[in-house]
Amino acid sequence: CRAEVRTAHPGGGRPAHVLAESLPRDLNNLRRGIRQRTLYQHTVRSDRTTLAYIEQVTAEGAEIRTLPEVMDRFIVFDRDLAFIPYSDEPHTALRVRHPALVRFLVRHFDETWSRAVPVRPERAPLRTPVVTSDLQRAILQAVVNGETDAAIARRIGMSRRSVAEHMRKVSEQLGSNSRAQLGYLVATSGLLDD
């Protein structure tokens, strides 16, 4: 990597051993002047291990943003080399050097980046209204689409219990007595209107 790295990581908080392995390398790159931009899902904002990593790399100039959902994991170096998942097997990746494909990934990342919310660990509270709103919107849209709690939890990167808690709060607000009624009320309430 000579100038910049873009990374996207779906799911919730990252494992401590992965972050411990990444931290020295990332700090070294940042100190060499490499620009690092990383996308995570909102759920990392409540993961202490990931937040500790974010605090250290942002102090050195990394930029971190979050969204309710993140595309598949990928990494792009210097707009000329990318790594994308090769299969469902862990630790396998496909190296991409084709200029058109790398350009497509960069454009996709940059468009997603523009919609993401910056993480600033030095500011409290960590959960901002826009994050809660984005998370709830993603969960509620999935409910309207008929997804199960397990499917929503996997896609958003949080536990099934957390998904159920978000739905319970909205159910109380709307006076819903069942999941089907909740889906109908959400769809007709205007909660998901832009």
Residues 7-11, mean pLDDT to the nearest whole number: 90
Residue boundaries of the structural domains of the chain: 4-118, 129-189
pLDDT, tens digit, 9 for 90 and up, residues 70-111: 678 899 999 999 999 887 777 789 999 999 999 999 999 999
In this predicted model, what pLDDT tens digit does every residue of 107-131 receive, in sequence order?
Answer: 999 999 988 888 876 653 444 444 5
Q: What is the pLDDT of residue 129?
A: 47
Write the CATH number of the domain with boundaries 4-118.
3.30.870.10
More confidently predicted of 56 and 194: 56
Distance CA 162, CA 41 (A): 14
pLDDT tier at 194, thresholds 50, 70, 90: low
Highest mean pLDDT: which of 55-69, 112-126, 169-183? 55-69
∠ at Cα 107 (102, 110), nearest 5°? 125
As a whole number of angstroms, the distance between CA 112 and CA 101 comes to 17
On the question of pLDDT at 180 being above 50, the answer is yes
The two tokens of residue 166 are: 């978000």
Per mean pLDDT, which of 67-71, 93-97, 170-174 is the most reliable?
93-97
For residues 42 and 72, is the Cβ–Cβ distance under 8 A?
no
Note the CATH architecture for domain 129-189: Orthogonal Bundle (1.10)
